[in-house]
């Protein structure tokens, strides 16, 4: 009888045990949806589960059999579906390029991303914010099922909520009649965006946040870096978000606080001049603006926490926030400001507005009707 042991953080042991129980009781579904916040470890568990399903030894996953090695091979791109930018998804396949061509194929792009995922499955910045899963990617994935296979096939669909409508409907048709010995593992931080009919055909599993100690340990083992207290506070139990926020944390806090201060005080000319210098055009500017708005969101939340007499998450900015005294504007104003920041971030990430225009509009409208 096969013995199963899925490795992972202690805080998520209960979620892993549900999968082990299903395997032991021979009732494991052919589609699993792993939900959870960004950077919480969904891809890490998906990889561990793929190894377990493909393992041919009595103690699974063993890590050394052919099935485990295949599941851990970044070159095995047929086992992955993940968001790609339009130019990447439209690149020629390896079977279509001319001999000795140096042009990157779609498999090259995928292999690069999968390799990065194996190096750091907690990372939240491997694929572009505007990348999507297209219907052609789903069709290319299902086309391989016509080939005979003696072993187990596992396909990881990473960030499945980024499927466009056509891709989601194509996947739904496949899930209605999954081929024998084939398993799908979907990961999503926004599972509510998935078709309900897709969710109903999956075993849904939500991963809880990790402890502070676990976050520190994972970040240290993965990157060798020590997390700042403020990045740890913003991470909310997510190693991936801790890594994300830790990058240039002091600089981003300064930019976010200056934006907040100038907005409240109406120093728009100075602020707009700085925005033009701080956020370049293109994807780099988009990513930088989204990061700054994330930090700004936490500052506004901390202003609410100060108002309620609760501990703040950005300890290094507590004194500055106290001096700004946003509590004088009232709870309603702070809550509306948080919604405005989230809305602006979504517009910038979705390329619905230029970075500069979106931030200028936010600055003028922030606390509108509440400023005294």
pLDDT at residue number 230: 93
**Residue in the block written with tokens 């699993």:** 32
Judge contact between 164 and 132, C-beta under 8 A. Answer: yes
The model carries a pTM of: 0.88
Using only C-alpha atoms, the chain has a radius of gyration, in whole angstroms, of: 23
Model confidence pLDDT, tens digit, residues 200-254: 999 999 999 999 999 999 999 999 989 999 999 999 999 999 999 998 888 999 9
Measure CA 178 to chain center: 27
**Cα 341–chain centre separation:** 19
Chain segment 137-196, per-residue pLDDT in tens:
999 998 887 665 678 999 999 999 999 999 999 999 999 988 888 999 999 999 999 999
What tokens were used for 32? 């699993």
Decide if pLDDT at 43 tops 80: yes
111-135 burial string, b = 16+ CB within 10 Å, else e?
Answer: bebbeebeebbbbbbbbebebbbbb
H/E segment holding residue 235: helix 229-235
Strand partners of residue 31: 184
Positive or negative, the Cα torsion across 200, 202, 204, 210?
negative
Alpha-carbon span 166 to 138, nearest angstrom: 9
Residues in the chain: 372
pLDDT for 206 equals: 96
The CA distance from 341 to 9, in Å, is 33
For the cut 80, the answer to whether the pLDDT of residue 99 exceeds it is no
The rounded percent of the chain whose pLDDT value lies above 90 is 74
pLDDT at residue number 1: 77
What is the tens place of the pLDDT at every residue in 320-346?
999 999 988 999 999 999 999 999 998
* 210/215 Cα distance (integer angstroms): 6
- Answer whether residue 101 shows pLDDT above 90: no
**In which band, very low, low, confident or very high, does the pLDDT at 97 lie, cut at 50, 70 and 90?**
low
CA 174/CA 346 separation, integer angstroms: 31
SS (H, E, C) 141-195: HHHHHHCCCCCCEEEEECCHHHECHHHHHHHHHHHHCCCCCEEEEEEECCHHHCC
Show Cβ contacts of residue 259 under 8 Å, excluding neighbours closer than 6 positions: 271, 292, 296, 359, 363
Q: Measured in whole angstroms, how far is the alpha carbon of residue 160 from the centre of its chain?
A: 11
CA distance 51 to 4: 11
Q: How far, CA to CA in Å, does 277 sit from each of 72, 222, 286, 341, 366?
A: 43, 33, 14, 20, 21
Q: Of 152, 190, 184, 153, which Cα lies nearest the Cα of 170? A: 184
Q: Is the pLDDT of residue 285 over 90?
A: no
- What does pLDDT average to over the chain? 91
């Amino acid at each position: 009888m096969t013995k199963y042991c899925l490795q992972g953080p202690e805080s998520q042991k209960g979620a892993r045990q549900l999968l082990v129980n299903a395997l032991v009781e021979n009732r494991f579904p052919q589609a699993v949806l792993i939900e959870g916040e960004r950077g919480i470890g969904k891809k890490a568990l998906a990889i561990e589960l793929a190894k377990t399903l493909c393992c041919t030894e009595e103690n699974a996953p063993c890590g050394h059999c052919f099935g485990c090695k295949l599941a851990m091979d970044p070159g095995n791109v047929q086992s992955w579906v993940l968001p790609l930018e339009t130019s990447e998804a439209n690149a020629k396949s390896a079977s279509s390029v001319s001999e000795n061509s140096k042009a990157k194929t779609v498999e090259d792009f995928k292999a690069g991303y999968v390799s990065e995922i194996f190096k750091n499955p907690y990372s939240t910045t491997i694929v572009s914010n505007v990348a999507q899963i297209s219907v052609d990617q789903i069709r290319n994935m299902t086309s391989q099922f016509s080939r005979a296979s003696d072993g187990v096939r596992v396909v990881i669909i990473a960030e499945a909520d980024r499927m466009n409508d056509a891709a989601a409907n194509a996947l739904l048709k496949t899930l209605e009649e999954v081929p024998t010995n084939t398993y799908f593992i979907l990961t999503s931080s926004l599972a509510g965006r998935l078709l309900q009919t897709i969710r109903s055909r999956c075993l849904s599993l939500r991963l809880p946040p990790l402890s502070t100690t676990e976050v520190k340990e994972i970040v240290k083992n993965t990157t060798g870096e020590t997390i700042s207290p403020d990045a740890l506070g913003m991470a909310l139990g997510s190693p991936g978000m801790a890594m994300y926020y830790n990058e240039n944390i002091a600089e981003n806090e300064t930019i976010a606080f200056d934006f907040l201060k100038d907005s409240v005080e109406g120093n728009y000319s100075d602020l707009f001049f700085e925005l033009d210098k701080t956020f370049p055009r293109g994807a780099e500017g988009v990513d930088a603006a989204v990061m700054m708005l994330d930090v700004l969101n936490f500052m506004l939340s901390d202003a609410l926490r100060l108002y309620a007499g609760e501990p703040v998450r950005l300890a290094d900015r507590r004194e500055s926030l106290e001096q700004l005294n946003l509590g004088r504007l009232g709870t309603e104003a702070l809550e509306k400001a948080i919604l405005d920041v989230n809305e602006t971030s979504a517009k910038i990430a979705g390329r619905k507005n230029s970075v500069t225009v979106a931030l200028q509009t936010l600055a003028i409208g922030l606390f509108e009707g509440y400023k005294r």
